[in-house]
Amino acid sequence: MSAAATRQLLERYYAAFNAGDWNTFLGLLTDDVIHDVNQSGREVGREAFKAFMQRMNTSYSEQIADIVIMAGEDGSRAAVEFTVLGTYLKTDEGHRAEVQAARRRLLRHPGWPCGARHQLLQPAGLAEAGRRLSELRTELLRGERIRDRLDALADLRIAVFRDWPYLYEGSRQYEAHYLDVYLRSPRSLAILVWDGDACIGASTVLPLADAGAEAQQPFRDGGHQIEAIDYFGESVLLRPYRGRGLGVKFFELREAHAREQGLSLCAFCSVDRPADDPRRPADYVPNDRFWTQRGYRKAPEIVTSFSWPDIGHSESTAKPMTFWLRRLEPSSAELGP
């Protein structure tokens, strides 16, 4: 096996993990896979590893980011360094804990991947992750106040949405029109994250009753009460800042906004591109697993369309968008003593 083939297999392995494609993920393992469990003993065999993953998936939600793959010339040895963002799914009632740490997985065998050794880098990895996050500043703006950061928000959207699957040929003119609905709603919220003077991440939300017709109409058509729904706009992050927990933070802040506004249903939509679109990157992994683990479900019966110009074009064309929904559970304060 060549170094290139080994790297390709590893890319498939981690892509399957992030997508929650457990058949592919486990199918890439040999029957005698060796797994050295963090702070525990050694487990041997695919079935043992499968049982381990089932236990992990019950208690944790994890995504692998910042993946760096290194392989020897003959492909028989490889090392992978990556960052794990994990969310505890089962802890004390009403609580969640987030952990981010660097991990290194070493793979050794002519038939990949036979052996896996996990090394959790603590406390240095956690300290470094905490240091990086603590240097970022979060700013919350509502309604007309968003105008003060309109250019920064517009430029960030233009930069991030240029990538697949949006392929957006952005302009300040288009952004001014799109973002105007947030300026006009006193109940809107824009969440901006700053690294020094650079805006590196942002997310928006407003009650669906204050949103545009494109967002409202499919719910009206389905007989839904739009007055009970909070509409999540975009979550955009520059690539170097992904995998640090900011995506989770955006969801938590927008869900808090829904509770604050007395809204019980959260909704957002994502663009639908053909699976065989030649512009789709080979290593693209959709966010479906992350959204599902946040408690959202895809609602294929609720579809709308938004228009924007694709890269290389000046005219806007309609793009189908499918909604994802989550009904919020009552908070402890709402339930009472």
d(CA 304, CA 270): 10
**Containing domain of residue 227, as a range?**
136-335
pLDDT at 134: 61
Strands (E), 159-272: 189-195, 198-207, 229-237, 265-271
Residue 144: both structure tokens together: 């007309």
Q: Calculate mean pLDDT across residues 69-95.
A: 64
Kindly state whether residues 89 and 187 are assigned to the same domain. Answer: no
Q: Are residues 124 and 144 in the same domain?
A: no
pLDDT for 96: 41
Has residue 310 got a pLDDT over 60? Answer: yes
Task: Check whether the bond before 165 is cis (ω within 30° of 0).
Answer: yes
Residues 283, 181 share a domain: yes
Mark whether 223 and 249 lie in a shared domain.
yes
Residue 265 has pLDDT above 90, yes or no: yes
Digit-coded pLDDT (tens) for 48-67: 888 888 877 776 677 777 77
Domain end marker among 132, 162, 195: 132
CATH number, domain of 9, equals 3.10.450.50
Tell whether 294 and 210 lie within a shared domain: yes
* Co-location of 78 and 111 in the same domain: yes
Identify each DSSP E strand in 129-168 by its residue range.
137-142
Residue 33 tokens read as 């896979």
Q: Please tell me whether residues 176 and 293 are part of one structural domain.
A: yes
Of 106, 132, 158, which closes a domain?
A: 132
Residue 332 has pLDDT above 50, yes or no: no
List pLDDT tens digits, range 185-200. 999 999 999 999 999 9
CB burial readout 176-199, b (16+ within 10 A) else e = eebbebbbebebbbbbbbbeeeeb
Residue 144: Cβ within 10 Å count: 13
- Facing residues of 87 across strands? 61, 98
Q: What is the count of structural domains for the chain?
A: 2
Nearest Cα neighbor of 242 from 67, 95, 72, 21 is 67
pLDDT at 53: 81
Q: What distance in Å separates the CA atoms of residue 171 and residue 207, rounded to the nearest whole number?
A: 26
Q: Residue 119 above 70 pLDDT? A: no
Q: What is the pLDDT of residue 49?
A: 80
Is pLDDT above 80 for 277? yes
Domain match, 114 and 235 both: no
**CA-to-CA distance for 132 and 83, rounded, in angstroms?**
13
CB 215 within 8 A of CB 306: no
Question: How far, in Å, CA of 239 to CA of 320, rounded?
Answer: 25
The CATH number of the domain where 253 resides is what?
3.40.630.30
Q: Say which range, 83-92, 157-166, 167-176, 271-280, has the weakest mean pLDDT.
A: 83-92
Cis geometry, peptide bond prior to residue 207 (ω within 30 degrees of 0) = no
| pLDDT tens digits along 229-249 | 999 999 999 988 888 889 999
Q: Give one DSSP letter per residue of 240-263, joined into a string.
A: GGTTSSHHHHHHHHHHHHHHHTT-
Closest residue by Cα to residue 175 from 253, 233, 238, 257: 233
Which of these three, 89, 110, 132, is where a domain ends?
132
- 87 and 220 fall within a common domain: no
In a shared domain, residues 147 and 270: yes
The stretch 169-184 carries a mean pLDDT of 96
pTM equals 0.64
Identify whether residues 121 and 141 lie together within a single domain: no
Beta strands in 127-188 (DSSP E): 137-142
Q: Summarize pLDDT for 197-217 with one digit per residue, the tens.
A: 999 999 999 999 999 999 999
Length of the chain: 337
Span of 139-143, 171-175, 281-285 with lowest mean pLDDT: 281-285
Shared domain for 298 and 237, answered yes or no, is yes
